[in-house]
Amino acid sequence: MSKVAIVRCSAYEQAEVDEAVRQACMQASMPSVEGMRILLKPNILSDAKPERNITTHPMVVRSMIRLLKEHGAKQILVGDSPGLQVPNFLPKLSGIHQVCLEEGAEWVDFTKQPRLHTIPYTSNKQLLLTSVLSEVDMVFSLPKFKTHQLMYATGAVKNLFGLVPNLSKSPCHVLFPTREQFASLMVGIAEVVKPSFSLMDGVIGMEGPGPANGRPRHLGLLLASTDALALDYAQAQIMGYSSEQVPIIAEGLKRGIGSVPSSYPVLDARELVLPDYQRIEVQKRTRFVHSLIIPFFFSKLIRWKVKKDRKAPVFLVDPCIRCRKCIDICPAHALTMQDKRIIIDEKACIRCYCCHEVCPVSAILVDETIPS
Ligand code: SF4
Ligand code: SF4
Shortest-distance Cα residue to atom 7 of ligand 1: 330
What residue ranges line ligand 1, CB within 6 angstroms?
313, 330, 332, 334-335, 344, 349-355
Q: How far is CA 297 from the centre of its chain?
A: 31
Q: How far is CA 16 from the centre of its chain?
A: 25
Shortest-distance Cα residue to atom 8 of ligand 2: 320
Domain parsing of the chain, residue ranges:
4-271, 290-369
Which atom of ligand 2 lies closest to the CA of 355? 1
Q: For domain 4-271, which CATH number applies: 3.90.1150.10, 2.40.50.100, 3.40.50.11440, 2.40.40.20?
A: 3.40.50.11440
Distance between CA 21 and CA 346 in Å, rounded? 45
Q: How big is the CA angle at 250 (ends 190 and 248), to the nearest 5 degrees? A: 40
The pLDDT, as a whole number, for residue 330 is 94
Cα-based torsion angle of the residue sequence 268, 202, 61, 130 in order, rounded to the nearest 10 degrees: 90
Q: For domain 290-369, which CATH number applies: 3.30.70.20, 3.40.50.150, 3.30.200.20, 3.30.565.10?
A: 3.30.70.20
The pLDDT, as a whole number, for residue 87 is 79
The pLDDT, as a whole number, for residue 310 is 85
pTM: 0.90
Residue 156 Cα to ligand 2 middle (Å): 28
Distance between CA 112 and CA 206 in Å, rounded? 31
Shortest-distance Cα residue to atom 4 of ligand 2: 323
Q: Looking at the CA of 332, name the nearest ligand.
A: 1
Along the chain (372 residues), what's the average pLDDT of each consecutive run of 10 residues?
95 98 98 98 95 97 98 98 86 98 97 94 95 98 96 98 91 92 97 98 96 96 98 98 97 98 98 96 66 52 68 95 95 95 95 93 77 38
